[in-house]
Chain A
Amino acid sequence: MIIIIILYFLFTVIYEWTYLKNKNRKKRTYWVVFCLMGISFSYCIVTVVFKHMPSPNDLIQFLFKPLQQKILGKVD
């Protein structure tokens, strides 16, 4: 799985680099695009390595479940 992710991101780096170069974008754009790509890549790897990591759903449930239960009562 990790190999697929690395290959996918290698393709994306080459593709976006060519795109930005053809469009003559500023250095700042390169930084933003590749920093966000780095974050996305790290997140993908982390989800594979730590399979039982808490997800955003857990946070949303933690914050909103008690409130919804108060409003609606317990729903099966």
Chain B
Amino acid sequence: MKTAQISQNQLLLFLILYFYSTLIGFAAGHLIHLSQYDSVIVLWISGLVVWVYAYFTIKLANRRPNEFFVHYGKEIFPYWIHILVMGFYSLSFLHSSAFVLREYEDFIVQTYLSETPNWAVGGILGMVVAITARLGIKTLFRTAQGLFFLILIADLSNSIFIGKELKWDRWMAFITNHSGHGIFTGSYTVIPFLGEIFILVFIFPYLTQKSKTLKSVSWAIVLGILLITVNLVFLLLLFGPNLTNHLTYPMLEMVRYIRIADFIENLDPFLISIWSTTVYLKISIMFYLSVLILAQIFRLKDHRPLTFSLAAAMVALSLQMSGGTAALTSYYTKSWATYAYFVEGIPIVYLLMDTLKRFIKKRSAKKEEIS
């Protein structure tokens, strides 16, 4: 497989959108429900924890910078254990892509296309994702690079237009209202969102100037969180924490508050353009990784012949995974975070094992030298 295709600039822009996509679109209400005015503190604490986590995942990837994790992992753990773990990762990425797809289906069907069945929305987006994944990772990152500034402009326009509607006297609550438990539960939920940065372990050989990866990731975390913070603060200033956590899509309601010069009354398309593109990018990378890992497990020359058949499975899984939005929300609020810690913790176990093996090897080599 051809490596070194993604520049550090592309990585930076992609990661900002990757952090922003689902956290602000589908999880903002729940985060505000847990942490209220502490949401801003929660975001920055989570950013710090994820930076430390990213440091260790990059450290693991940097040990064999031009090899894929699926290939070198068997040097760290026994072959069959490693293959089982990689099989799990392939399924887990497929499940994650299906989960985000389902959130998007529910959003579109509930808000705009009430008579349209979920499978139609899922099928159309699924096909776009399959074609993107088939074209490869370079296409995906270039798409993100191209769309980044459009998304940024749309998001900043939203923020500027909503400015005059905000109730600025609420700002004092950011200083006075704090709860330790709220900060803890909020951080526990947000860390795995940002922790999805562990995909770097799988795509590391594709990066150019690998030594600058930590720098790009650090900037992506800072800028991504800054963008999310602006949106969350505006939500809190407009609706307050109690109303926000009762809204299914608070960002959508916020955009509906915008009135420009009494003749532009509906700016929904601004929001839809942001969400659709960021969610599409997130589903595409998750799906691409699922297919890539599977192709590498079976030692195929490229991943392309698997894309269309697995895309059908992704759409089927998105439709089958839950009976309705309530069940999906229950899954997300009551078990997803802990499951995500489990999935994201595996590369750290590999790093620990690799370090231990290297240490033992060094010690035995030293002993041999002395004797």
Residues of A participating in the B interface, judged by any CB pair closer than 8 Å: 1, 5, 8-9, 12, 15-16, 19-20, 23, 25, 29, 32-33, 36-37, 39-41, 43-44, 47, 51, 53, 55-57, 60-61, 63-65, 67-69, 71-73, 75-76
Contacts and interface: CB of A to CB of B under 8 A. Distances in A.
A40 B310 contact: yes
Nearest to B342: A64
A19 to B, nearest CB: 6
Contacts of B301: 23, 25, 29
Nearest to B34: A75
A43 B314 CA distance: 10
Nearest to A30: B305
Interface string B12-39: 0000000000000000000001100000
A68 B336 CA distance: 9
Contacts of B322: 55, 57
A76 to B, nearest CB: 8
B230 to A, nearest CB: 26
Interface string B308-332: 1110110011011110000110110
Contacts of B298: 32
Q: Tell me if B's interface is mostly helix, strand, loop or mixed.
A: helix
Given A25-B301, A33-B306, A56-B317, A5 B335 contact: no
Given A40-B312, A41-B312, A61 B331 contact: yes
A1 B119 contact: yes
A3 B194 CA distance: 40
B338 interface: yes
Nearest to B185: A72
